[in-house]
């Protein structure tokens, strides 16, 4: 499984979204890496990609709202990381469509998305949880 319990922040609403995001990325990767011919995978890849684009934006917005609610001091920096990732996803999607659904582009996207997501949740997002705990704002309290 892509999701690991050690990624939990202790903020139920955000943890639930992270789990859903990991579940969606995992299904995307399974389709991407399956042995089926690329041409046959394209419809499912495109469908999952479209969903992820929407879900990523929604999740980032909710996470940013949570950060604002606890006056997280690194809000602007964190928001920039989200914005950069959303821009990257949109740019790759555009290139992918323009290329006529090139497989290598999607494989590159999958590899970067996997490493980025794990680092973001296992590292950057943990700072939010540490801050919330220090301020006594743990979502499980």
Partner 1 sequence: MIDILHSAFVEATNNVFQLMLNITDISNHPTEDFKCEDEIDISIGVIGDLQGEVIYRFPVATSINMVNIMSGMEFEQVDAFVTSAVSEIANIISGNVLTALSTSDMKCDILPPAQYKPDENKEYEIKTSCCISTTIGEVCLEIRLNKAS
Binding site for partner 1 (CB under 8 A): 1-2, 4, 6, 26, 29-30, 32-33, 104, 107-112, 114-116, 118-119, 122-123
Any idea which residue has 């790759």 for tokens? 92
Smallest separation, CB 69 to partner 1 (Å): 25
Q: Which is nearer to partner 1, 42 or 118 (CB)?
A: 118
Q: Is residue 21 within 8 Å of 113, Cβ to Cβ?
A: no
As a three-state string, the secondary structure of 84-98 is HHHHHHHHHHHHHHH
Between CA 19 and CA 36 the distance in angstroms is 27
Smallest separation, CB 128 to partner 1 (Å): 15
Q: Which is nearer to partner 1, 62 or 130 (CB)?
A: 130
Q: Is residue 55 within 8 Å of 21, Cβ to Cβ?
A: yes
Q: Which is nearer to partner 1, 121 or 132 (CB)?
A: 121
């Amino acid at each position: 499984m892509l999701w690991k319990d050690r990624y939990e922040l202790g903020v139920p609403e955000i943890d639930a979204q992270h789990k859903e995001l990991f579940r969606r990325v995992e299904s995307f990767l399974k389709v991407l890496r399956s042995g089926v011919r690329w041409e046959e995978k394209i419809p499912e890849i495109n469908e999952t990609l479209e969903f992820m684009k929407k879900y990523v934006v929604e999740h980032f917005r909710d996470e940013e709202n949570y950060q604002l609610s606890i006056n997280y001091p690194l809000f602007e920096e964190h928001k920039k990381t989200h914005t950069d990732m959303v821009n990257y996803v949109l740019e790759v999607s555009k290139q992918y469509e323009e290329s006529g659904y090139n497989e290598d582009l999607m494989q590159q996207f999958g590899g970067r998305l996997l490493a980025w997501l794990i680092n973001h949740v296992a590292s950057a997002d943990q700072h939010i949880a540490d801050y919330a705990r220090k301020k006594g704002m743990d979502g499980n309290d």
